[in-house]
Amino acid sequence: MSKKILITGGSGFIGTNLSLKLISKGYQITVLDNLSEQIHGNDPGSSSLYSQIKNKVRFINGDVRNRDDWTNALKGQEIVVHFAAETGTGQSMYEIEKYTDVNIKGTAILLDLLANNKEHKVEKIIIASSRSIYGEGKYECSEHGIIYPKERKEEDMLNKDFAVKCPMCNQDAVLLATDEFSKIHPSSIYGLTKQAQEEMCMIVGKSLKIPVVAFRYQNVYGPGQSLSNPYTGILSIFSTRIMNGNDINIFEDGLETRDFVYIDDVVDATILGIEKQSANYNIYNVGSGVRTSVMEVTETLVKEYGSNSKYSVSGNFRIGDIRDNYADLEKIKNDLGFEPKIKFKEGIRRFCKWVSSQEVENDAYNKSIIEMKDKGLLK
């Protein structure tokens, strides 16, 4: 008989794609989701993400902050995939209570129920973590070797010096792939809540002898991601601006980089964690292992859309943003046999083709920028 899997946040971008893949493999899926307007728009019940799983899963419109919703959702479940979370580095720096309430309290209720209800059937937990927990990540200094730099200084960035420095000698440091044994020191409230989720699940999972697998996802993208959320996802934010004929403001010097990983690869990695016993009690990076600059992203999007939108490098920066990051994938390759299949050039082509087939979303980006400026988080 197929396993019963609960996916919290299961009508979000990753959750929807994972649900559909698991259904095709014969799993019975329950989704707990509050259909957040920030992700699903003004009419969440008819959002494209939710519509894909509607009537294919047992759906519970509920909130992970609600103990009764958790109790209802957990009935008979054998595996919990915990995706439900507030996301967005910048927004987390001024909606602090909301982020800690949803991400940390929501996870605490799950673990509390498992610890105090011996009748539950949960035999594995998958927790969605994030590359944001690494802060600036892993670097090398010519004088001091491997280092884990602190957040960049505001005065340097105001002077257009965006490089990451060695904390001991202040020389520019050289970026390295960040592995799972790197120092954990998030530079945003979002990253801190992800660290807490991951560690809470690991501690309680070991105590209860419930295997836990944590995935530190890089920048996930692909067809189906929310185009209406102005707080997270540079590809969707820039695409919505371009489709509205608006210009693009590139922060810093445009040379900052991210590791963009295609949604199908993320789903495949997650399923390996669900199905393989060798994944139990382990933490894995999930990315492409390749860094791509914001300037390259912008140029590619404008070209793919055949757009006349202008873009300029402003030197603006957000407090809490990191400079660069890309994942070391050796551990997940060795343990689970994971290999990302979709290169960025192919993935962004598929993404742009999908965006071009969608109705143009309202561009709320300027509103998010005003919010950050008002809070002193955008310079």
Residues forming a β-bridge with 315: none
Strand-pair category, 28-33 with 4-8? parallel
Q: State residue 29 phi and psi, 5-degree precision.
A: -110, 130
Q: Are 284 and 214 in contact (CB under 8 A)?
A: yes
How far, in Å, are 94, 108, 212, 215 from residue 65 at the CA level?
20, 9, 21, 22
Q: State residue 170 phi and psi, 5-degree precision.
A: 65, 15
The secondary structure of residue 226, as a DSSP letter, is -
Q: How far apart are the first and last CA of the chain?
A: 56
What distance lies between CA 28 and its chain's CA centroid?
25
Greatest CA separation found in the chain?
Answer: 62
| CB within 8 Å of 233: residues ≥ 6 apart | 219, 221, 225, 226
Q: Are 169 and 149 in contact (CB under 8 A)?
A: no
Q: Which two tokens mark 33?
A: 């989701």
Active-site residue among 27, 190, 231, 262? 190
Q: CA torsion, points 290, 177, 157, 364, in degrees to nearest 10?
A: 40
Measure the CA–CA gap between 332 and 323, rounded to whole angstroms.
24
Half-sphere exposure of 121 (CA within 13 A, CB side): 11
Q: Which two tokens mark 236?
A: 């969707």
Concerning whether 190 is annotated as a catalytic residue, the answer is yes
Q: Are 288 and 341 in contact (CB under 8 A)?
A: no
* Active site residues per annotation: 190
